[in-house]
Amino acid sequence: MTPIDASSPLDIIFVPAQTGKPIGTIVVLHGWGANHDDLGELVPYFKLPEYQFLFPNGTFDHEYSETGKMWYSFTGAGQLNDRSLAQLVTSREVLTTWIESLPTSTGIPLDRTWIAGFSQGGTMTLEIGLDLPVAGLIVLSGYLHQNRAKPPQSAPSVLLVHGRQDDVVPLAAAQKSREILTQWGVNVQYQEFDMGHSIAPEVLDTVRSFVTK
């Protein structure tokens, strides 16, 4: 994995397509306290050799980890205070601007670009992706912010995946997200697995099917 785009405000790791010229781009956002290396090891298991992967680091240093990053901070029980909301706005703006610039830097249009994320990264995927003309959104163990504005009618399709035994992000949060998105008219594919706050091998099969179908 090699870093790219030194001019970006984000620290990014790039994994090129294994087959030469890519047919699509997959942006993957890590969770709270992890970093852009965390999910990079999963690339071979996605079994999407014709796609290039981009892993940006979180906008802010994590409060309790020397190597961890975050998109915004939490207070007790995952609640957002004024500082958290300000960080969320910053991360949303930085990520949106960067993703909108990807067709120029990668040669792949946004309608062949997927945004994926795990945990807080999944939440950020919905935060930014519903307003972008991307190919699809992949939310792994994430959820929709309750104060999230209704997206435009052309919002991309969403894959929501969650573990029934998730003790970090409650299953009910994913179910509520599915309910709201469906009410908004978003095309949602929802699937639960017998797992905790993790990514089981069968989840990657579901992701691959969502991207390639």
Q: Rounded to whole angstroms, how far apart are CA atoms 36 and 102?
A: 18
Residue found under tokens 């930014």: 128
For 22, the 3-state DSSP assignment is coil
Domains of the chain from N-terminus onward: 2-212 (3.40.50.1820)
Asked whether the beta carbons of 117 and 29 are under 8 A apart, the reply is yes
Mean pLDDT for the chain? 90
pLDDT tens track for 58-71: 888 887 777 889 98
**Poorest-confidence range of 20-29, 46-55, 125-134, 141-150?**
141-150
Higher-pLDDT residue of 161 and 9 is: 161
Q: Rounded to whole angstroms, how far apart are CA atoms 4 and 176?
A: 37
Q: Rounded to whole angstroms, how far apart are CA atoms 10 and 76?
A: 27
- At 129, is the pLDDT very low, low, confident or very high (cuts 50, 70, 90)? very high
| Segment holding 177, helix H or strand E | helix 171-183
Q: Rounded to whole angstroms, how far apart are CA atoms 128 and 122?
A: 10
Q: What is the per-residue pLDDT for 76?
A: 55
pTM of the model: 0.92
Instruction: Report the candidate in 151, 207, 206, 197 with the shortest Cα–Cα distance to residue 174.
Output: 197
